[in-house]
């Protein structure tokens, strides 16, 4: 039974560490751009978009579709970077524990 108690204690410690990392990730920001920097999206590593910056030079009322595409591209890239950052940080916690990737995310 001592082994089970030790395992449960380790699991609780890991859960506390995961919560701390998730709180830190919610504050960490990453960014991605599209159109050579014309559109910049900033995402938090909790999967939310913090802000979008658009260079006024790319705002063409006759080509709104291009601007929409640039925004979607920048946001998609920012969210991908945020998700990768989140996965990398969580993997550090589970390394050596023999847990499958993504467990607890």
Domain chopping of the chain, boundaries: 19-85
* pLDDT at residue 105, rounded to an integer: 46
* pLDDT at residue 103, rounded to an integer: 54
Give the C-alpha separation, 73 to 50, whole Å: 16
Q: For the purposes of burial, counting CB atoms within 10 Å of the CB of 63, is it exposed (0-12), middle (13-18) or buried (19 or more)?
A: exposed
Average pLDDT, the chain: 87
Task: Tell whether pTM > 0.85.
Answer: no
Tens of pLDDT, residue by residue over 1-44, are 678 888 888 888 888 888 888 888 889 999 999 999 999 999 99
The DSSP call for residue 42 is E
DSSP H/E element including 84: helix 64-94
DSSP H/E element including 53: strand 49-54
Right CATH number for 19-85 from 3.30.1310.10, 3.30.565.40, 3.40.50.970, 3.20.20.70?
3.30.1310.10
């Amino acid at each position: 039974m001592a082994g089970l108690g030790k395992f449960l204690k380790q699991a609780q410690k890991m859960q506390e560490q995961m919560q701390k990392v998730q709180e830190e990730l919610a504050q960490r920001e990453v960014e991605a751009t599209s159109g050579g920097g014309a559109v910049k999206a900033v995402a938090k590593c909790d999967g939310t978009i913090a802000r979008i910056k658009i260079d006024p030079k790319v705002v063409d009322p006759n080509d709104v579709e291009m601007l929409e595409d640039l925004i979607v591209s920048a946001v998609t890239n920012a969210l991908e970077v945020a998700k990768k950052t989140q996965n990398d940080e969580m993997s550090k916690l589970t390394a050596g524990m023999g847990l499958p990737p993504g467990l607890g995310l």
